[in-house]
């Protein structure tokens, strides 16, 4: 993801006037500057004539974000290294926000399920070897995830 963020300015320059690419870049930049805290509260909806329309759940979020919109706009265009967005409009649209939350929750659930499956696959000899050879608990966990994912992939190819 970090490589994509660093490549955004070049992508935007190469896109020229392509509205689809500019919109996609603005959405990625928004999600980056919004961070984890705002990601489930303010969802980029559309880029129209350099106005980024962001959906928010209610009037409270709308008012709070409007108060800092100048800072958000500056951070967004700084990340893109040009004025792709000249104004941010916050629209109350709880449906869009709820759908984004559900999608993000689904991704988290999928990730957790993949980790559980990988850890089950890495049981037996692999688990015993990792427990005896890797003292660092975090490193051992990451190793077991990687080994289990590899085993799952190999099993799926059969």
Q: Where in the chain is the domain with CATH 3.30.300.180?
A: 2-94
Mean pLDDT computed over 119-138: 79
Distance in angstroms (rounded) separating the CA atoms of residues 133 and 140: 9
Question: Which long-range contacts (C-beta less than 8 Å, at least 24 apart) are formed by 122-130?
Answer: 122/147, 122/148, 122/151, 126/151
- What are the pLDDT digits (tens) for 66-100? 999 999 999 999 999 999 999 999 999 999 888 88
Q: Of 46, 53, 48, which is closest to residue 69 (Cα–Cα)?
A: 53
- Residue 30 is encoded by which pair of tokens? 């928004």
Query: What mean pLDDT value characterizes the chain?
Result: 84
Tell me the pLDDT tens digit for each residue of 15-30: 777 788 888 889 989 9
**Fold observed for domain 2-94:** GMP Synthetase; Chain A, domain 3 (3.30.300)
| Confidence (pLDDT) at 145 | 77
Closest C-alpha among 102, 96, 107, 85 to residue 45:
96
């Amino acid at each position: 993801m970090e490589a994509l963020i660093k490549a955004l300015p070049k992508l935007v320059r190469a896109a020229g006037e392509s509205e689809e690419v500019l919109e996609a870049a603005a959405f990625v930049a928004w999600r980056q500057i919004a961070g984890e805290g705002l990601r489930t509260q303010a969802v980029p909806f559309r880029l129209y004539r350099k106005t980024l329309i962001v959906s928010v759940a209610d009037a409270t979020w709308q008012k709070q974000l409007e108060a800092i919109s100048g800072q958000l706009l500056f951070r967004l265009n700084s990340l893109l290294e040009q004025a792709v967005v000249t104004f941010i409009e916050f629209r109350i649209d709880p449906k869009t926000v709820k759908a984004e939350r559900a999608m993000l929750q689904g991704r988290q659930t999928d990730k957790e399920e993949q980790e559980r499956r990988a850890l089950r696959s890495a049981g037996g000899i692999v688990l015993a070897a990792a427990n005896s050879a890797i003292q660092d608990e975090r490193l051992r966990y990451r190793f077991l995830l990687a080994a289990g994912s590899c085993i799952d992939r190999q099993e799926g190819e059969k």
